[in-house]
Structure 1
Amino acid sequence: MHSPRRVRGHRTPRAHRAGGARPVRPRSARGRRRRGSRGGRAVSDLRHTLLLASAGTGKTFRLTSHFLGLLFRGVPPARILATTFTRKAAGEILDRVLERLLEATRDPKALDELNAALAGKTVSAADCTAKLAELTRGIDQFRVRTLDAFFVHLAQLFALDLGLAPGWSILDEADNRQLEAEALSRALTEADRAEWLVLLRTLQMTPASRSVHEALASAVKIARSAFLDSAREAWDTFDPGLGFAEERVAEIRAALAAFQVPVTQKGEPNKNWEKAHRQALAHFDAENWKGLLELGLIKKLLAGEPFSRLPIDVDVFGPVAQHAQHRMLVALRARNAATRALLERFEVAYSRLKRARGGYRFEDLPAFLAPPGAHGEDPLLERQLDMWYRLDGRIDHLLLDEFQDTAPIQWRILRRIADEVLADGTGERSFFCVGDVKQSIYGWREAEPRLLAGMAERYPQLVPETIAKSWRSSRIVLETVNRVFRDIGANTALDGEQERAAATEWQRAFAEQDAAKPKPGATWFLQAEPKGEGENAVFPVLRMAAQRAAEIVREAPHCTVGILLRRGTYLARLIYLLRREGIFASGEGGNPLTDSMAVLHALSLLQFADHPDDKAAAFHVQTSPFAAQAGLQPITNPETEDAERRAAARTLRERLASEGYGPFLAGLLREFGASGYGEWDRKRFSQLVDLAFAWDGRAGLRPSAFADFVREERVEDPSSAQVKVMTIHRSKGLEFDAVILPELDLDPYNPRNEILTDRPEADGPITAVSRSASRALLASDPELERLAGIDVHRTVTEFLCLLYVAMTRAIHRLDLIAQDPARKTSAPTYARILRAAFGTDEPDEDGVLWRHAENDDPWWGSPKSERVESIAEPVVQDGLGLAPSTRLRETPRRAPSAQEGGTVRSGADVLAPRNRSAMTRGSLVHRTLAEVEWLEDFQATDAELLALGVELESDEGLRAEALAEVRTALGREHIAALLSRAGREGLEVWRERDFSLVLPDAGGGEHIWTGAFDRVVLAEDGAEIIDYKTDRIPAGGLAQRVEFYRPQLEGYRRVLAQLTGLDESRIRCRLAFLSSGEVVDL
């Protein structure tokens, strides 16, 4: 029996190739087959261009200049293909072409600028007028498209050859999610029982709280793109070997058990060694190989370091680590195989469902055109599909914008056109490629910046031209950018060997930028105040960002402001904070219409029409201005309530089917006059009506399908807010007078990439795939370690690209806001990178860590045009109504418990990871105390109480711990008095009483309040609310915790007043701190 490989530590992966495709050289005019006329004058003085354009350097100007030069040389628009990444960018290219022509017809300066850009071609204003007229008459001939649109066009041409469904269309998000869920269900159904069980065991290596479906759906989501661009053998990337024989394993275990723990100078066992040895033996016996490898002793062994200042016996612990590594590698290999098996079944079912539905996703189309295995020079020609014949004419000029965002599978199709154009030696065809590897931020969409980096090698006729002069940003902003990135490879925050290598390679593409024009500017690096007790660390940063934005708007009302976030988690919260500052803001691309109460009422109406027994939706409609139109009047006879509700829902469905969604909702809009809705609701409801008319062309029988669509669809606010809040990814291609970056403390490796891949050739397939694992395990296998190194390189590269993109959106002002570093981290966060670059650590009294020494005052330029007023109406709601739940019932919801701390918490905050054991302990304590009506009558045994908690927690030890806490609390004087019947005879007691009711808010809207009272004691003329708290209160911290919980108890008081009819002044609120035995009245 072979032994597993020796224990290994980390090493730097070998260099990753950037390309390697064979060069394509031009053909001479003589050697080239002549073609017929292209419908215009001869073009013989063109050159090919590879433009490496840093941010703000005018790449769109250069691209449109090339485009206009072709048009004025007589090239028909149909012979030019210009592709870019987003619809907005494609529209901007076309707009700029027409705009520059229009300006040149009426402005001599613009005409001179155009002639300078045309490089040797001189045109007159009359020429521009004629060309503009010609182009507008034939606007349909333009081929300025996104890559997605181009592939849609190709797929339509080859639909029959590719076996696509007749009359196919692009699936929207809601339909696609439904198909994905159904495909996953079918994939599991078609597997036999044995395979199904293996699949679950190997895939669901997650906490027990994670559902089976969630684990499987996650596996599909994260691994599908790698699956689609790799062969089966790529998933067998490493071999764990045969491992030790059973006899040898027994010997290893015996040696471990017999190991003598080192002793101290006093002759006593070293406690650190004793504990580590005990844990190692326990993990070995439990076959908990992951836990064994994570022990400090084993980590030190793998790193070649001593443990607790003493050398480690390699003869004893070396084989232990080897065996653990081998078993984990075997499990990982099985997990890889299970993932691929699941994906194979899923893809078959998913493809069938999409064909049956007649719908596909944009990302499906390149895979149809160049499927896995078709990795040659021309995947279409390999399948005898003649692109040129189907395109009804050749493309003589190829313009590729944002090329760093192109995916390998997309390039394999475009490559045929590029090769054809670049092989032409007559000067009659042209190739224009522009991009910037420093701005490649779409790796999660398979973007491959190495394609751009390798273009000059593949095509020797391309001579790269680098432009770094910025026409966007001020000198102050650019000097700040230069300071951060000019020496990024030596930044001390990037202290890992692989991180430094990635940063050094990134730095090679960076050229220091200077400003093309003098503009005022200012930059600051700031630190937010420390977080409050129990507060999310990012909240002070968001508050500072909102305050800074408000200051900017008030001092420079003509300036645009962009607040750019790494993730979308806190978008809604930040918009709310801005409105609380009196500033109206919106997200790029708009927000869902669910930020309007009128829209929420309409969605509840649609939900009710589809689900008549949804009483919450019915109640929401009954209490809205739409009640009469919906046929929902207050119920007077409970016996006929269900029948009346179902009849009303049936009538609504009939009206929607006969009238259509657009006319039906337009009718509701006409009734707004007496509705009490405000102007904002009217605006957003009008947009809902527009969506409804568009939906009518595809409407089915389920009203809730339209409601789901509305919740997902982002609609731009027509007022075009001065302040935009968006992710950095969405800001690509945009610019703002002032930029605020508040999320600088995120770990680039959290969450870690769950799939490791290797694509040796930039335009080739993926040749190695594996699920990720712990660092120790990855370091135990050379191939896995190599894949991990590639992943670190890719992660750090894109991380730096994101920071560069974010900082270079700024024209005049840049505010960088870091958290208070209460907890040290070794992760290379943006905050650490900036602290190292600026050489700063401690802020001044204003929270400023660093400011540019030459900040201008004022920092803004003169207004270019009038701006829409961005000062918002005062925020009257004290809750967050911007991002309501997207569950079935759409009234904004609120829970008194969510008011803790006096701040409104976003859904992401509510769902953020918490201390599970502490939460479970609290739930168990509350469940036990629910059995106590009066202490004098509480006779339950420990066994009975422990049994009550089984439904909440299977760990008997944790249940016993919670029970002991309850018994201790009940023995404390003030807690016992609180629960005693003495002086309260005959009073009613509620315990763990749930509630759900609609309450109006100060702004005229309403919220559904949901939750549960821990304990309420009711009298005829008053009531007492008792709320149990299991907090461990530090010395002197009681008053602070009481204030933290005060908003929650005030919420309970308001709810109870509504439920009982009591005046709020007659309701007493009391906090019972069980750990200290203190009871505090509010």
Structure 2
Amino acid sequence: MLGKDEDFTFLTHLIQKGAVRSINNTLSRIINDIYKVYLEVPEDGWGLEKKELTSQFSIELVLKRLEQAAAKIQHKRAVEALQKAIEDIKAHNFAAALTKGVLGAVLNGKETYCNKAIPVEAQTAAWDLFNYYTYNRLEELNRHLQSLYDVLRRYHHYYLAVNYSEGILSFEDVKWFLFREKILGNLEEVYFRLDCSFSHILLDEFQDTSRLEWWLLMPIVEEVLSKAGKENVFLCVGDLKQAIYGWRGGASDILRDIPKIWSYVAEEQLTKSWRSAKAIIEFVNYFFSALSRSEVLSMYSSAISKWEHSFSPHTTAVKEEGYVGIYFVENKDDEDATPLEQVIPLIKDIINSLPTSSLSIAVLCRKNETASQIMYELLKAGIQCTSGGSSPLISSYISAAMLHFLKALEHPEDSIAFYHTKKSLLGKVLGIKEEDRAFNSEQILNFKKEIKRKGLDRFLNNIYEELLRLGITEQESLKVLSLIRLARKWQGANSSYTLCDFIKFVENSPIKEEGGGNIEVTTIHQAKGLEFDVVILPELFFKLSAQLPSYFVKRKSSAQKGEKIIPRPDNILRLADKEIDNVVNDYQQRQFLEELSVFYVAVTRAKYALYILLSDSRQGKVLNWTKVVRELVGEAESKKGALIKSWGDSLWFKKITSLEKEDKKKESTRVVLKNLLRDFKGKRKSIYLLDEISPSQLNAVENPFLFLEKAKVGGKAEVKGEAIHLLLAKVFWMEE
């Protein structure tokens, strides 16, 4: 399918991004993204501008000049650097020679190395090698891009053929079909088919709109705006500061550009918060207005300029003062502790210091893995919490071992599945010996008979009981119980199935990790649109500058189609081609702008209190929020393991009158419910005995709606209503 083996290798690395995955899974996951680029970028955009060699190039001549330079420059380190460059060039490792030592200094515009003037021979050799390298690298990338385009063209034809033969279209297919066929360019035909036209358009969360969606909507918006008035209105609502979905196609710059596209569209900023207390708003204004003063963020000046243009100081309608505390923590007892291990004890201390029964508390993380780790540690410490996110059961060690076991039963020749089963705790439960290499036919037959007799869920539950005796963590226990529930659900819906079918079902079934309580451990993205009395931010040590993608798309503006695809370049190519460098830099600025938005979303989830935990990351030059926050809040008060800056009162929860009112309201509701239940059927000691009322007992009572209407209950109407609502909800549950 491809011209040469190295072309296929390039394509494989391009779609894998260096990860070790199966080719099938990688193609399924990544091909959709690059296929969208194929649909957007025209064929003439699949190639880079070629460079011409300015002079006749000779490796021998370059080596000779470097040897002459080494003889001239009288400095040990400089000579060693030149000798290393000579070795790299002889090994045809040109990139290494050009990015380090004397030649790297030349390309970076320096005239000295180790305080010694760089000989002209070395400068000439550096630029000759630079031109030769960029010429060949561009030729190589162009050949690979053409191969990639050919693959995608064939994929496109096969994909359409399969869609038409099967009569299947995804929602994304419909969008691209409308765009490709320019159907929305003829609105009269569209309105004729719909048997109506549009006069009012409302677009919410507009900062997350994708380019494709906007290309389809734009003709309709233009048509409505051309008749703008009371009868024709275009309203889009969005917040550039909350644009956190660029990774899945959101193009926030479209919202920023709307006033440029239509100058007569009025723009109104909403800067008053109806959620956050005064201290939180003071921190937001302090931090997000000071970004331009940061030295560690100097490389993101363009992104910060855009942010400041869209950011206005906030005010709040909330009367409570609230609290923001910034803590710098360090584990002095264990110098090798990870940043996460450093902050977990403080998370526990903060939670234990709060009246948790009256508060909603969120621990917001950047990554799912971090949330799972923190949840596990909290549960282990006896702090009940729940996960707002979901994760596949295969992320659990024990659950994954169970699935390997089922796979080994279905495919005895699968030595990998058997190996994982044997090496896990499951191996002990099943009595697998170290010398065993697979299940024998008798073992497989017995296991399958047991599954058929008991059912898969009961079979797995028996294994789970044995695992409990051996000792598994509470987190693993929760995952195994979820696996058993999935088995029950699966066999109830599938009268005939194979174990492999069940494995596929599990692999595609995310679960919500539950531990109880009103403390939620989740990611910032999953918390968007939610609010919590208390927010704790523990993961500010992650690297802000993400890895560059495998390819970039050049476009004139955010709302326009892509003009050219550019494979990820090295630093030498960026130096050689200003256009490529600008595209990469623009991507990096947008990525940082999104990280700013993620941090803004995180801090503005808090209603009353925000705890920001900074850890001694020991990551050297790695840029993270820990460094930025410490720089902007100042180091004068900084003591490791202590509060370094705060706003508001640390005993804020004692001054929040709304919490007291909420507690009194809950107690009133509880009393009313208790009285209702006592009159409903005999005397009851506690509201919690509601579960003891059976449907047969309910039948002996007169119509419950008529009874509730007649009931004489003290308290406000709001409390009565809530009591009745809760009662009826319970009755529905019991009938179910």
Q: How far apart, in 1, do the equivalents of 2:105 and 2:614 lie?
A: 34
Match of 1:452 among 229, 250, 255: 255
Judging by fraction of residues, say which structure has more helix.
Answer: 2
Between stretches 294-303 and 849-858, larger displacement belongs to: 849-858
1:578 aligned partner, one-letter code? L
Q: Secondary structure at the match of 2:533?
A: strand
**Contact preservation (8 Å) 1:593, 1:688:** no
Per-residue deviation at 1:223?
A: 4.5
Match of 2:445 among 647, 668, 680: 647
Q: CA RMSD in A?
A: 4.3
Q: Would the alpha carbon gap of residues 751 and 312 (structure 1) be closer, same or farther in structure 2, given more than 3 Å must change?
A: same
**Contact preservation (8 Å) 2:204, 2:238:** yes
1:198 aligned partner, one-letter code? D
**Contact preservation (8 Å) 1:531, 1:540:** no
1:318 aligned partner, one-letter code? T
* Equivalent position of 2:40 in the other structure: 229
2:442 aligned partner, one-letter code? E
**Contact preservation (8 Å) 1:473, 1:515:** yes
**1:814 and 2:619 equivalent?**
no
**Contact preservation (8 Å) 1:531, 1:537:** no
Q: Would the alpha carbon gap of residues 823 and 683 (structure 1) be closer, same or farther in structure 2, given more than 3 Å must change?
A: closer
**Contact preservation (8 Å) 2:50, 2:138:** no
Q: How far apart, in 1, do the equivalents of 2:368 and 2:465 lie?
A: 37
* Equivalent position of 2:177 in the other structure: 368
Note the 1:632-711 alignment, pairs <5 A. Answer: 642-648=440-446, 664-665=455-456, 684=482, 687-689=485-487, 691-692=489-490, 696=494, 702-711=498-507
* Equivalent position of 1:573 in the other structure: 373
**1:274 and 2:79 equivalent?**
yes
* Equivalent position of 2:283 in the other structure: 480
Q: How far apart, in 2, do the equivalents of 1:639 and 1:502 lie?
A: 57
Q: Secondary structure at the match of 1:779?
A: helix
* Equivalent position of 1:398 in the other structure: 201
**Contact preservation (8 Å) 1:529, 1:847:** no
Match of 2:642 among 844, 847, 851: 847
Match of 1:443 among 246, 251, 254: 246
Q: Would the alpha carbon gap of residues 600 and 277 (structure 1) be closer, same or farther in structure 2, given more than 3 Å must change?
A: closer
1:366 aligned partner, one-letter code? K
Q: Would the alpha carbon gap of residues 639 and 236 (structure 1) be closer, same or farther in structure 2, given more than 3 Å must change?
A: closer
* Equivalent position of 1:1047 in the other structure: none
Match of 2:52 among 227, 241, 251: 241
**Contact preservation (8 Å) 1:299, 1:776:** no
Per-residue deviation at 1:589?
A: 3.4
**Contact preservation (8 Å) 2:321, 2:649:** no
Match of 2:95 among 290, 295, 310: 290
Q: TM-score, normalised by structure 1?
A: 0.53
Q: Would the alpha carbon gap of residues 722 and 212 (structure 1) be closer, same or farther in structure 2, given more than 3 Å must change?
A: closer
Q: How far apart, in 2, do the equivalents of 1:365 and 1:337 lie?
A: 32
Match of 1:468 among 261, 271, 282: 271
Per-residue deviation at 1:727?
A: 2.4
**Contact preservation (8 Å) 1:740, 1:814:** yes
Q: How far apart, in 2, do the equivalents of 1:836 and 1:639 lie?
A: 58
Q: Would the alpha carbon gap of residues 789 and 675 (structure 1) be closer, same or farther in structure 2, given more than 3 Å must change?
A: closer
Q: How far apart, in 2, do the equivalents of 1:604 and 1:639 lie?
A: 14
Per-residue deviation at 1:309?
A: 0.8
Match of 1:829 among 624, 632, 642: 624
1:483 aligned partner, one-letter code? Y
Note the 1:321-360 alignment, pairs <5 A. Answer: 321-328=127-134, 330-335=136-141, 337-339=143-145, 341-342=147-148, 344-346=150-152, 348-349=154-155, 352=158, 355=163
* Equivalent position of 1:1029 in the other structure: none
Per-residue deviation at 1:488?
A: 1.8
Unaligned runs of 5+ residues in structure 2 are 469-473, 667-736
Q: How far apart, in 2, do the equivalents of 1:561 and 1:652 lie?
A: 45
Note the 1:1050-1069 alignment, pairs <5 A. Answer: none
Q: TM-score, normalised by structure 2?
A: 0.76
**Contact preservation (8 Å) 2:210, 2:250:** yes
The structure showing larger relative contact order (alpha-carbon pairs under 8 Å, at least 6 residues apart) is 2
1:470 aligned partner, one-letter code? S
Q: Secondary structure at the match of 1:282?
A: helix
Identical pairs, percent: 21
2:407 aligned partner, one-letter code? Q
Q: How far apart, in 2, do the equivalents of 1:474 and 1:760 lie?
A: 42
Per-residue deviation at 1:650?
A: 6.1
Match of 2:542 among 746, 761, 776: 746
Per-residue deviation at 1:828?
A: 4.3
* Equivalent position of 1:408 in the other structure: 211
Per-residue deviation at 1:510?
A: 0.2
**1:560 and 2:360 equivalent?**
yes
Q: How far apart, in 2, do the equivalents of 1:534 and 1:329 lie?
A: 49
**1:760 and 2:570 equivalent?**
no
**1:797 and 2:600 equivalent?**
no
* Equivalent position of 2:224 in the other structure: 421
Q: How far apart, in 2, do the equivalents of 1:260 and 1:344 lie?
A: 48
* Equivalent position of 2:731 in the other structure: none
**1:522 and 2:323 equivalent?**
yes
Q: How far apart, in 2, do the equivalents of 1:215 and 1:322 lie?
A: 43
**Contact preservation (8 Å) 1:243, 1:323:** no
Note the 1:617-628 alignment, pairs <5 A. Answer: none
**Contact preservation (8 Å) 1:748, 1:799:** yes
Q: Would the alpha carbon gap of residues 541 and 240 (structure 1) be closer, same or farther in structure 2, given more than 3 Å must change?
A: farther
Q: How far apart, in 2, do the equivalents of 1:203 and 1:275 lie?
A: 37
Per-residue deviation at 1:744?
A: 1.7
Per-residue deviation at 1:479?
A: 0.7
Q: How far apart, in 2, do the equivalents of 1:430 and 1:275 lie?
A: 71
1:539 aligned partner, one-letter code? L
Per-residue deviation at 1:768?
A: 2.7
Q: How far apart, in 2, do the equivalents of 1:797 and 1:551 lie?
A: 35
Q: How far apart, in 1, do the equivalents of 2:538 and 2:437 lie?
A: 56
Per-residue deviation at 1:458?
A: 2.4
Unaligned runs of 5+ residues in structure 1 are 1-189, 264-268, 657-662, 869-1082
Between stretches 731-740 and 834-843, larger displacement belongs to: 834-843
Per-residue deviation at 1:516?
A: 0.9
